[in-house]
Amino acid sequence: MSPLNISLADLIARMDAELPDASDLDRISEAQLRAHTLSDLGEQLVGHYVGEAKQAGASWTQIGDAIGVSKQAAQQRWVPAIFDRFTMRARHVIVLAQEAARVRKHHYIGTEHLLLGLLGEPQGVGAVTLVALVGSTSAVSDAVDNRLAAGTDNSPAKIPFTPRGKEALEQSMIQAKALDHNFVGTEHLLLALLAVEEGVAAAVLTELNVDLPTAREKIVELLAGYKKHPKPA
């Protein structure tokens, strides 16, 4: 039995149920997409516990032994610490952005894919803010897709970020610091996408009458409300 309490038969049954009319070739393409997503989630899962181990004082040698690689390999794999302060929801947004690029057969992850990823975390402050300002997540996703053309070839296994995509990730930490937060959440990713003014995400949000000051004001309002009325864990 898998440690996730799921078997290959379960995965096959679920996909067959979700795609009853798909051709064999379409099922292969969909299976490939899901395999990549599972791999991305696995990387995030290991990365989460690597971060916890480092905070608890574990050495890179110990972490490498736990993973089954050398100290140097563990450092090279996990030190890209840009995601160290990301919350679990923010990290999931990155996985969803990769999936959004793959579904559209794009060879890059831009600000538009990060915006689509944000919408896939509906309980995150970023998506809640957009719903409050725009009315629905579908209005945002439709506006994004109206600007994008589908790719023609399958995406590579590791999809690179565009320069503006990388800038948005860096901006998310700047936006978190500006709000005096020691973590990067979905709300900071939304502000970052608006701060990268030449990105597709910012253009889409501007068309929907969402700008950086308005979004920041709404986020501060929402966070204050959460502090007064905390949700159960």
- CATH entry, 88-228, from 1.10.1780.10, 3.50.50.60, 3.20.20.60, 3.30.70.1140: 1.10.1780.10
Query: What is the pLDDT, as a whole number, of residue 52?
Result: 79
In degrees, rounded to 5, the angle at the alpha carbon of residue 156 between the alpha carbons of residues 154 and 162 is: 110
Asked if residue 75 has pLDDT above 70, the reply is no
Query: What is the pLDDT, as a whole number, of residue 221?
Result: 93
What is the DSSP code string of 67-80? HTS-HHHHHHHH--
Q: Are 184 and 87 in contact (CB under 8 A)?
A: yes
State the average pLDDT for the chain: 86
- Which comes out higher in pLDDT, residue 204 or 25? 204
**pLDDT tens digits along 20-58:** 888 988 889 888 888 877 887 787 788 778 877 876 778
Query: What is the pLDDT, as a whole number, of residue 2?
Result: 62
Which of 78-92, 100-114, 189-203 has the weakest average pLDDT?
A: 78-92
Query: What is the pLDDT, as a whole number, of residue 233?
Result: 31
Query: What is the pLDDT, as a whole number, of residue 85?
Result: 83
Q: Which amino acid is at 220?
A: V
Alpha carbon 190 to chain centroid distance? 11
What pTM was computed for the model?
A: 0.68
Under the banding of pLDDT at 50, 70 and 90, the label for residue 209 is very high
Query: What is the pLDDT, as a whole number, of residue 81?
Result: 56
* Structure token pair of residue 127: 């998506």
DSSP type of residue 196: S
Expressed in percent and rounded to 5, the helix, strand and coil fractions of the chain are 65, 0, 30
Q: How far apart are the first and last CA of the chain?
A: 30
CATH code 1.10.1780.10 region(s) in the chain? 88-228
